[in-house]
Amino acid sequence: MNLPKGDIVQQPRSRFLKVKCLDCENEQIIFGHATTEVKCLKCDKVLARPSGGKAKLEPTAREIEVLP
């Protein structure tokens, strides 16, 4: 392993998602591979849950765009 120190490791499947909470219309960035539940910062609804290494969006959340 010779990973650069302090850098984010670039992996094709590593990405961030911009999602919108359909409950309160708050938009926030979540990690596409979240390993814990991601909650809306505004209303505390669960927006995504970990699922086999990939975050699975709840019906409460809508994916707006995938960030590079």
Residue 27 binds to Zn ion (criterion: CB under 5 A):
no
- For position 61 contacting Zn ion by CB under 5 A, the verdict is no
User: Least distance to Zn ion from the beta carbon of 48, Å?
Assistant: 12
CB 12 within 8 A of CB 68: no
Block residue for tokens 């910062």: 41
Stretch that binds Zn ion, among 8-16, 27-35, 39-47, 51-59 (CB under 5 A): 39-47
- Min dist CB 42 to Zn ion, Å, is 5
3-state secondary structure of 46: strand
Q: Under 8 Å CB-to-CB from 37, ≥6 apart: which residues?
A: 46, 48, 49, 50
Question: Quick check: 42 binds Zn ion (CB under 5 A)?
Answer: yes
Q: How many residues bind Zn ion (CB under 5 A)?
A: 8
